[in-house]
Amino acid sequence: MKYVITQSQFHKLVYGYLNKMVKSSEVVREENPYVEGGFSVTVDTKGKRQFTYQYTPEGESWDDPTDTIYPENGFLVIKKGIVDDMRELFGLRKSKLYDLIADWFTETYDVNVDEVSETTY
């Protein structure tokens, strides 16, 4: 049986799933000692890494001799099992799921996600 729900109801459903998943998680924010203003956020549940977020502010790279100014970047890495489970549960394509998770992470942890990828940790 299929149900018709609004987009906001669907987002609430996905956000609820993610919130429940990280409910008892350990969230650690660490400043990057090598990049002024840079930091990372890790989210671990039961000792297993679920998400890693890395923020790098606009500026020069210490290892780029071209003096290129790089834009600020917020990069989110998601545990592959999360993406696989949610794709199966919600029937979404990977790119749509990345967008939803990035929006949820942005709202939940007050950061700006520009790029998303997944890993097996």
Q: Where are the domains of the chain?
A: 25-119
pTM comes to: 0.87
67-87: pLDDT as tens digits: 778 889 999 999 999 999 999
Tell me if 50 sits within 8 A of 89, measured CB to CB: no
Kindly report the average pLDDT of the chain as a whole number.
92
